[in-house]
Structure 1
Amino acid sequence: MTLVLGPQVPRRGNAFSRWLGRAMLRLMGWRLHGRLPDLPKMVLIGAPHTSNMDGVIALTALTAVGLRAGTMIKDTAFRGVLGVVLRWFGALPVNRRSPKGIVEQTVDVFRSQEQFVLLIAPEGTRSAAAEWKRGFHHVARGAGVPIVPAAIDYVHKRITFGEPLTAGDFDTDMRRLMQFYGRHSAARHPERLSRPVAEALGLPWQPRADED
C-alpha cells in the first residue's frame, strides 16, 4: 500500500488512526493501488457496490490514508448524538424541504468550503441497478471539480484509484469510467452488479437480486 495524500487533499485523523487503518487492511488482506490527485476538492465515486461489506472496506481504507471525505444525508438523521457521530464521519445534511435540490445544495457545499471530497456510490443500491444515478456527474459539473473513480476488487482484494476525469458529456464520460471499472473491479456478489459495470466486465446482467 503506497498511496500517499498530497498537501492539498483534506485529511482526518492522526498517525495512530492511520496506523490502525493500515493494520486492519493488512489483517483483511486488502491493498490500495493508484493515487489521488493533489487537489482540495473532488467527487470520489466508488463501485461496484453489491454488499454492506463494501462500506466497511471503504471506511477502513479512508482511515488508513487519512482522507476526509463527506457524504450527503437527509437532515432529519442529524438529531442528538447520532448527528455528532455522522458529522465526525464527514456526513453533511441535505434539506429535502429546501427549494434547492440535492445537487444544488451539494454544489453550494463545494463553493462554501476550501476543501471538500464528496464520496458517492453512483449505483445507488446494492441490488442490480439498471443505470447509474447522474447526481455525481451533475455535482461535478456544477462545482467545477473532477470525478475520481475508485474500484473495489474482491478477487485480488484491492482498491484502485483511477485518474481524475473532468465532467463533460455524460455518455462519453460513462464510457471512460466503464473502461476503468472493466479493468479494475470484481464484485463480492456479481449477480448484483449494475448493468453498466456488468457490461463493462462482460458479465450477464440480472434486473433484480436479493440483498443479504
Structure 2
Amino acid sequence: MRASISRLIMRMFGWKYIGEIPEVKKAVIIAVPHTSNWDFVWGKLAFLSHNVKTTILMKKELYVFPLKYLLKSWGVIPVDRSKKGNMTDQLAEEFSKRESLYISIAPEGSRSLRPEWKKGFYFIALKANVPIYLAEINYEDKTLTCGEPFYPTGNVDEDMKVIKSNYINSKPKHPERFSTGL
C-alpha cells in the first residue's frame, strides 16, 4: 500500500526512479546533491515506492512536534550535532546488530554551499564493511537513481575524488548551493 501511494505521488509530480534498488541487505546510501528540503521528500518516496526502508539522520532541531511523528515513522534518527561523540562507531554497531539496514546520508551535511563534504558516511561504511551507493537526484529531468555500489578502499582522499566525480554534472534544485569541490 505504501509503495503504491509513493509511486502515485511521484507520478503526480512528474518524478521517476531509474535503475535498480540495492541488492545487498546493508549499505550506506549517499544522497547528492542536497540543496533543498525537497531532496529528502523525493528520495524517501523513491525508496518507499520500492518497499526499501531507509534510515535517515537529521538534525534534532527539525525533530519537533508534530513533524517528529512523521519523521519517526519514516525511519529518521535525530542527531545532536553539538555533542561530540563517535557517531561512526555507533552506526557501524547498528549495522552489526541488524539483518538489513540502509542508512541514507547527505555528505554535504547542509543545504548550503559546501565544497568540502563531510566524510562520516565513508568511515561508517568502511568500519561496517558495507558498500556506499551513490544516489543522485536530478531536478532537470525529475529523476532519482541509486547507482552502483562503491566499496571504500581505505584511501579516503582518492576514494572521495572518485565519489565526487560521479556528481560533477548533477542538476540540483538550487545549483548555486552545490559543489563537489573538485
Q: What TM-score does the superposition give when structure 1 sets the normalisation length?
A: 0.75
Aligned ranges for residues 63-212 of structure 1 at < 5 Å?
A: 63-72=48-57, 85-92=70-77, 101-168=86-153, 169-183=155-169, 185-196=170-181, 199=182
Structure 1 residue 87: Cα displacement: 3.6
1:41 aligns with 2:26: yes
Identity of aligned residues (%): 34
Counterparts of 1:97 and 1:19 in 2: how far apart (Å)? 39
Task: Classify 1:92/1:51 alpha carbon distance in 2 versus 1 (closer, same or farther; 3 Å).
Answer: closer
Q: Cα deviation per residue 1:15-70 (whole Å; 9 max; x = unaligned)?
A: x2111111111111111112233111000010111111111211221221111011
Partner SS state of residue 149, structure 2? coil
Count of aligned pairs: 181
Report the aligned-residue RMSD: 2.6
Deviates more, 1:135-144 or 1:17-26: 17-26
Structure 1 residue 126: Cα displacement: 0.7
Structure 1 residue 76: Cα displacement: 9.6
Name the amino acid aligned to 1:128. L
Contact 1:94/1:105, CA 8 A, preserved across alignment: no
Gaps of 5+ in 1: 1-15, 200-212
Counterparts of 1:161 and 1:86 in 2: how far apart (Å)? 22
Structure 1 residue 179: Cα displacement: 3.0
Partner SS state of residue 20, structure 1? helix
Counterparts of 1:30 and 1:79 in 2: how far apart (Å)? 28
Contact 1:72/1:106, CA 8 A, preserved across alignment: no
Structure 1 residue 88: Cα displacement: 2.3
Name the amino acid aligned to 2:136. A
Gaps of 5+ in 2: none
Deviates more, 1:125-134 or 1:51-60: 51-60
Structure 1 residue 84: Cα displacement: 5.5
Q: What TM-score does the superposition give when structure 2 sets the normalisation length?
A: 0.86
Counterparts of 2:59 and 2:137 in 1: how far apart (Å)? 26
Name the amino acid aligned to 1:71. I
Counterparts of 2:156 and 2:28 in 1: how far apart (Å)? 15
